[in-house]
Structure 1
């Protein structure tokens, strides 16, 4: 996945690059009508091409790492939902509670909500490793 970014700052061996987010409508606002005003995403990357402030650079996302992080973001909530439902069904069934299916589903939703905090914690760890997911290919 290649994108174009604008170098905003040079901090020693790293550069601060503003990358415009890609919209679902393909940036064709006439056909969309959503008037989405997307702010740029700021990333700090190693300055491997000796870029200067004001340069446009081509950035490439490392597919392997992006897929790994996407799996984390989608699978942890799904697994937590299933774990919450299955465990609570077994416990509530043994306690002979009526409507244990509905209660188990609600407990699964609580587990799903709790997974937000786990994903947020992992996101903070990944944020520190931003250069592992993206690299600057060249100056445009």
Structure 2
């Protein structure tokens, strides 16, 4: 995805870019009630790494590889941890004939989701400071 935005505000080494988000389907269909063809104006804040001034045009590009990695991290990691920890707890508890194996396995799964959240939060904080961002700006 690429788009062009206008720098609306500059200050404190940050810029606010007005960006018109394109519709999901790309067409304006009068009979569609989903209103997916409506474009909306959004204001995005970025670090001013490109020395932009108010009124400058900037190109906004996304790094597809990073976005796919983030999606796997946010959706895949919790799912994998939940499924493996719940299954492992269930089989281990059944092997030793412990009562309430379902409930205890569920609790272990929920704890694994909390652990996944902590892992995702720490990775997010690390990448927040990184220059290898998912959204890239380029001055036009």
Q: Which secondary structure state, in structure 1, belongs to the residue aligned with residue 115 of structure 2?
A: helix
Gap change, CA 1:45 and 1:3, over 3 Å in 2: farther
Task: Give per-residue Cα distances to partners, 1:61-109, cap 9 Å, x unaligned.
Answer: 1111111122111111112212320221133123312331342123212
- Match of 2:63? 62
- Match of 2:29? none
- Match of 1:46? 49
Higher relative contact order (CA 8 A, sep 6+): 1
Q: Which runs of 5+ in 2 are unaligned?
A: 26-32, 35-40
For 1:102 and 1:5, how far apart are their aligned partners in 2? 52
Q: Which secondary structure state, in structure 1, belongs to the residue aligned with residue 136 of structure 2?
A: strand
The structure in which a higher percent of residues are helix is 1
Q: Does 1:16 align with 2:19?
A: no
Aligned-residue CA RMSD (Å): 3.3
Q: Which runs of 5+ in 1 are unaligned?
A: 33-37
TM-score, structure 1 normalization: 0.68
- Match of 2:30? none
- Match of 2:37? none
Task: Give per-residue Cα distances to partners, 1:40-71, cap 9 Å, x unaligned.
Answer: 44222531xx5312324221011111111221
- Match of 1:119? 120
Q: Which secondary structure state, in structure 1, belongs to the residue aligned with residue 98 of structure 2?
A: coil
- What is the number of residues matched between the two proteins? 130
Give, in angstroms, the shift of residue 2 of structure 1. Answer: 2.0
For 1:119 and 1:24, how far apart are their aligned partners in 2? 30
Give, in angstroms, the shift of residue 128 of structure 1. Answer: 1.1
TM-score, structure 2 normalization: 0.68
